[in-house]
């Protein structure tokens, strides 16, 4: 076991990082238009999309958040998430939201809102999405910097170039280096270089985490895992989902609300928006989502086992001496951090520090490289998303004329991306985090989550959704979400003390009412105390989202006048775009397969096999869940040993078998699609009008087609409509 970061470990970290930058530099020449920078030219294949999006979605901050959750609450709570398997399976197989959104050919969510609603809706949505994403992303560099400081055991500061008295922050330097690597990649070629490097990183991570999986079982055995995991007090079981009553932060209510929010917020989060629009057509976009069921392979399994290894290392008597060294190191380092974040940082950094003491030389560096890749892939994707959203959805729709050239528009996009990186660095340097990472995500994301689901679902599937409803929903949802966020942030230091002094009667009523409601809902734990707001970030997000959906439906019904032309927006029928195949119902496919498996005339034999494999695997997994839950509820409760065996066979051994298959499968598929991407980009005919502008609910590059179909002049009709609105105002 290795407690220090060695020269070999540094080589394992630096060499693949340099290789990644070289790849980004080589790929940039394929980016030639705004649509390339924004959506990778819309020519990506399914394996490229699913692997690259997997790397972007599973960032370093997500892994640290999962370490934090698993170390505190184990895996018992996650057992209940299997309730959502049938729903998630059907949504993936039919391409719920994913398919229709790709059919619009919009490059951003807010561009779709202008096509479906109006330009003011696009601008307001663009501002809200941008601010929500900007603040949400702004703690990413902080977690990255702190992780590498603690994991690599680096000092708090260093003398730059050895100059005495010229000390620089190690924390700030690490954040800057990570952001510079990501900036270099994303600014070179936008979504093109981001997709390619993310795919390469994900494939390399397959190798890294396969090695780590093997290493874990070299240094630990199942008996040690069992002893540590079963030593938890009653109500805090790591493996028994019926013994989690005392887990108040990541509890059953957290899981249930997560399932409901997943239904409502399908594709609402825009942190990886470039991947929603990059497939060669809507069918390929849907199939990339279907492949996501199999994507993670050894990676997620290795992460979960690393958390178990760290917990075992810190709590098993066989490692008591080494565990004390970790505790002492944390205690020595933690005193230098802001006192208000001491406990949060201790929880976040315990697993990374323990892993450095666990992993051997070489593998310590491999894991570090894997985490850097996850950080860079997410940084690239988020920098691209938030930087481009500001230009495309705030600046562009406010311009009376388009940018003078695609080259100038891309320059402005790059400058906006640079601003996001600089803002994130400064924010991370000075912001004090006071809540769990996952809860922070929910709080800041609620500013967008609260209303986005209603506008997306109503816009794609309901002809009666109106512009007025969209605008009112955004205002109400954002206001409620901001109120919830402020309550979470300022409850202990400002709100609770003020209420105690100035409104004790209201505080008493609030306490009794909320705790009474919590008692009526056994899965809720609402206790009003002075140290934190009683409603969690997940619960705030759900309440604001539910309220926003009601507002959208009611206002739409009140203001509805005529149905929206969905075929035109989705490029169906006479509006069909050349990228999409014409679907003719042959009557040979059973209706239930169309409804639940999403199979239609576009499906090849391989597509059908993939759909059936996802259906079979999902139903098998759900059946195992029903068996375990039903047996314990109706026949007899398994012992802690029984639940540990369930976790061992179901979550480790079976997952390892699937991981071995998918690692080979997705490596081959990703490399194949990379080759096809370059070939498609070289042959692609770009349209200079495909720059994100919308004219009269129609994308600028579609105007000629619509004019031909509808025998009218779109530009003139749009100008007349705008003139009437200005006269009315």
Q: Which residue has the higher pLDDT, 260 or 546?
A: 546
235-252: burial string, b at 16+ Cβ within 10 Å, e else: ebbbbbbebbeebebbbb
Structure confidence at residue 298 (pLDDT): 75
Domain boundary among 410, 433, 456: 433
Among 35-49, 608-622, 710-724, the least confident range = 710-724
Helix (H) or strand (E) run with residue 699 in it = strand 698-699
Asked if the structure places residue 204 within a domain, the reply is yes
Q: Which residue has the higher pLDDT, 665 or 254?
A: 665
pLDDT band at 419 (very low <50, low <70, confident <90, very high): very high
Closest CA to 411 of 27, 681, 34: 34
Asked if the structure places residue 523 within a domain, the reply is no
Structure confidence at residue 165 (pLDDT): 66
Cβ atoms of 55 and 205 within 8 Å: the answer is yes
Closest CA to 314 of 378, 231, 248: 231
Asked if the structure places residue 257 within a domain, the reply is yes
pLDDT band at 517 (very low <50, low <70, confident <90, very high): low
Average pLDDT value for residue range 228-238: 86
| Beta strands per DSSP E along 506-584 | none
Structure confidence at residue 339 (pLDDT): 46
Burial of 51 per CB tally in 10 Å (0-12, 13-18, 19+): buried
Structure confidence at residue 432 (pLDDT): 54
Q: Above 60 in pLDDT, residue 241?
A: yes
Q: Which residue has the higher pLDDT, 208 or 582?
A: 208
Q: Which residue has the higher pLDDT, 330 or 633?
A: 633
pLDDT band at 236 (very low <50, low <70, confident <90, very high): confident
Q: pLDDT tens, 313-338?
A: 998 999 988 888 888 888 777 655 54
- The DSSP bridge pattern shows strands 157-159 and 698-699 to be unpaired
Structure confidence at residue 293 (pLDDT): 83
Q: Above 60 in pLDDT, residue 342?
A: no
Domain boundary among 374, 405, 433: 433
Burial of 379 per CB tally in 10 Å (0-12, 13-18, 19+): buried
Structure confidence at residue 524 (pLDDT): 54
Query: Which domain does 18 fall in, by range?
Result: 7-433
Cβ atoms of 243 and 541 within 8 Å: the answer is no
Instruction: Please provide the DSSP assignment of 563-589 as one string.
Output: ---HHHHTT-GGG--TTSPPP---S-S
Structure confidence at residue 521 (pLDDT): 55
Structure confidence at residue 499 (pLDDT): 83
Structure confidence at residue 430 (pLDDT): 79
Structure confidence at residue 437 (pLDDT): 55
- Report the CATH number at residue 113: 1.20.1730.10
Average pLDDT value for residue range 645-670: 91
Q: What is the C-alpha separation between 539 and 439, in angstroms, rounded?
A: 10
Instruction: Please provide the DSSP assignment of 396-430 as one string.
Output: GGG-SS--S-HHHHHHHHHHHHHHHHHHHHHHHHH
Structure confidence at residue 340 (pLDDT): 44
Cβ atoms of 357 and 322 within 8 Å: the answer is yes
pLDDT band at 409 (very low <50, low <70, confident <90, very high): very high
Q: Which two tokens stand for residue 198?
A: 């993310």
Q: Above 70 in pLDDT, residue 415?
A: yes
Cβ atoms of 416 and 388 within 8 Å: the answer is yes
Asked if the structure places residue 264 within a domain, the reply is yes
Asked if the structure places residue 629 within a domain, the reply is no
Closest CA to 314 of 245, 391, 225: 225
Q: pLDDT tens, 475-497?
A: 998 888 888 877 877 788 888 88
128-146: burial string, b at 16+ Cβ within 10 Å, e else: bbbbbbbbbbbbbbbbbbb
Which residue(s) pair with 354 in the sheet?
none
pLDDT band at 440 (very low <50, low <70, confident <90, very high): low
* Percentage above 90 pLDDT, the chain: 44
| Chain-centre distance for alpha carbon 156 | 31
Q: What is the C-alpha separation between 633 and 615, in angstroms, rounded?
A: 26
Q: Which two tokens stand for residue 223?
A: 């008996």
Q: What is the C-alpha separation between 208 and 363, in angstroms, rounded?
A: 8
How many domains are contained in the chain? 2
- The DSSP bridge pattern shows strands 698-699 and 694-695 to be antiparallel
* Percentage above 70 pLDDT, the chain: 89
| Chain-centre distance for alpha carbon 164 | 43
Contacts of 8 (CB under 8 A, 6+ apart): 361, 362, 365
Q: pLDDT tens, 135-174?
A: 888 888 988 888 898 888 888 888 877 666 677 888 899 9
Q: What is the C-alpha separation between 423 and 314, in angstroms, rounded?
A: 37
Q: Which residue has the higher pLDDT, 419 or 590?
A: 419
Domain boundary among 374, 398, 433: 433
Count of Cβ atoms closer than 10 Å to residue 150 Cβ: 22
Structure confidence at residue 336 (pLDDT): 53
257-286: burial string, b at 16+ Cβ within 10 Å, e else: bbeebeebbbbbbbbbbbbbbbbbbbbbbb
Q: What is the C-alpha separation between 68 and 74, in angstroms, rounded?
A: 10
Q: Above 60 in pLDDT, residue 53?
A: yes
Instruction: Please provide the DSSP assignment of 308-329 as one string.
Output: HHHHHHHHSGGGHHHHHHHHHH
Structure confidence at residue 728 (pLDDT): 43
Closest CA to 371 of 208, 150, 220: 208
Q: Above 80 in pLDDT, residue 110?
A: yes
Average pLDDT value for residue range 576-580: 84
> Distances in Å between the alpha carbon of 700 and those of 251, 281, 389, 688?
48, 19, 18, 10
pLDDT band at 726 (very low <50, low <70, confident <90, very high): very low
Asked if the structure places residue 35 within a domain, the reply is yes
Asked if the structure places residue 654 within a domain, the reply is no
Asked if the structure places residue 461 within a domain, the reply is no
Q: What is the mean pLDDT of the chain?
A: 85
Q: Please state the three-class secondary structure of 158-221 as a single string.
A: EEHHHCCCCEEEHHHHHHHHHHHHHHHHHHHHCHHHHHHHHHHHHHHHHHHHHHHHHHHHHHCC
Q: Which two tokens stand for residue 178?
A: 């990570």
């Amino acid at each position: 076991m290795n407690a220090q970061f060695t020269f070999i470990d540094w080589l394992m970290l630096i060499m693949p990082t340099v290789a990644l930058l070289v790849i980004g530099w080589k790929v940039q020449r394929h980016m030639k238009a705004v649509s390339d920078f924004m959506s990778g030219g819309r020519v990506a294949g399914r394996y490229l999309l699913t692997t690259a999006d997997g790397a972007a979605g599973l960032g370093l901050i997500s892994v640290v958040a999962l370490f934090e959750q698993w170390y505190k609450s184990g895996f018992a709570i996650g057992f209940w998430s299997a309730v959502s398997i049938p729903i998630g399976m059907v949504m993936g197989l039919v391409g719920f939201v994913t398919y229709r959104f790709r059919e619009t050919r919009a490059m951003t969510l807010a561009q779709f809102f202008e096509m479906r609603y109006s330009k003011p809706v696009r601008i307001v949505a663009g501002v809200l999405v941008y601010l929500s994403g900007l603040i949400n992303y702004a703690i990413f560099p902080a977690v990255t910097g702190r992780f590498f400081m603690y994991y690599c055991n680096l000092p708090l500061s260093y003398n730059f170039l050895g100059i005495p008295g010229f000390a620089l922050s190690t924390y700030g330097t690490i954040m800057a280096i990570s952001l510079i690597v990501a900036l270099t990649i994303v600014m070179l070629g936008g979504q093109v270089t981001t997709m390619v490097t993310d795919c390469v990183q994900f494939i390399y991570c397959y190798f890294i985490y396969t090695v780590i999986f093997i290493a874990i079982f070299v240094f630990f055995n199942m008996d040690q895992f069992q002893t540590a995991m079963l030593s938890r007090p009653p109500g805090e079981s790591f493996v028994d989902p019926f013994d989690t009553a005392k887990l108040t932060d990541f509890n059953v209510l957290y899981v249930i609300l997560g399932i409901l929010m997943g239904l409502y917020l399908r594709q609402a989060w825009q942190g990886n928006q470039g991947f929603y629009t990059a497939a060669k057509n809507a069918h390929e976009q849907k199939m990339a989502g279907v492949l996501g069921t199999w994507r993670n392979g050894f990676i997620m399994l290795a992460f979960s086992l690393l958390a178990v290894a760290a917990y075992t290392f810190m709590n098993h008597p066989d490692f008591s001496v080494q565990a004390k060294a970790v505790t002492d190191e944390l205690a020595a380092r933690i005193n230098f951090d802001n006192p208000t974040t001491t406990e949060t940082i201790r929880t976040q950094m315990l697993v990374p520090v323990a892993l450095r003491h666990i992993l051997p030389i070489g593998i310590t560096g491999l894991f570090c490289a894997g985490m850097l890749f996850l950080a860079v892939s997410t940084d690239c994707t988020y920098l691209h998303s938030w930087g481009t959203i500001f230009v495309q959805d705030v600046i562009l729709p406010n311009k009376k004329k388009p940018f003078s050239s695609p080259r100038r528009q891309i320059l402005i996009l790059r400058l906006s991306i640079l601003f996001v990186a600089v803002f994130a660095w400064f924010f991370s340097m000075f912001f004090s985090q006071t809540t769990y990472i996952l809860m922070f995500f929910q709080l800041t994301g609620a500013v967008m989550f609260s209303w986005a689901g209603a506008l997306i679902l109503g816009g794609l599937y309901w002809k009666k959704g109106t512009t007025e409803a969209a605008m009112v929903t955004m205002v109400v949802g954002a206001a409620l979400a901001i109120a919830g966020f402020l309550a979470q942030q300022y409850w202990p230091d400002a709100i609770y003390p003020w209420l105690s002094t100035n409104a004790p009667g209201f505080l008493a009523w609030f306490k009794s009412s909320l705790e009474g409601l919590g008692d009526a809902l056994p899965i809720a734990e609402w206790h009003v105390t002075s140290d934190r707001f009683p409603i969690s970030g997940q619960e705030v997000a759900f309440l604001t989202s539910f309220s926003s959906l009601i507002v959208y439906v009611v206002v739409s019904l009140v203001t509805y006048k005529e149905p929206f032309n969905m075929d035109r927006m989705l490029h169906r029928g006479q509006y069909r775009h050349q990228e999409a195949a014409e679907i003719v119902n042959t009557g040979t496919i059973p209706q239930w397969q169309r409804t639940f498996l999403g199979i239609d005339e576009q499906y090849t034999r391989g597509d059908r096999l993939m759909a059936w494999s996802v259906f079979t695997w999902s139903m098998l997994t759900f059946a195992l869940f029903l068996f375990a839950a039903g047996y314990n509820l109706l026949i007899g409760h398994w012992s802690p040993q029984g639940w540990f065996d369930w976790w061992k066979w179901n979550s480790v051994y079976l997952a390892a078998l699937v991981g071995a298959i998918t690692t080979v499968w997705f490596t081959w598929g990703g490399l194949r699609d990379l080759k096809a991407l370059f070939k498609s980009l070289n042959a692609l005919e770009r349209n200079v009008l495909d720059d994100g502008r919308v004219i009269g609910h129609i994308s600028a590059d579609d105007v000629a087609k619509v004019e031909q179909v509808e025998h009218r002049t779109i530009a003139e009709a749009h100008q007349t409509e705008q003139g009437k609105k200005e006269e009315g105002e």
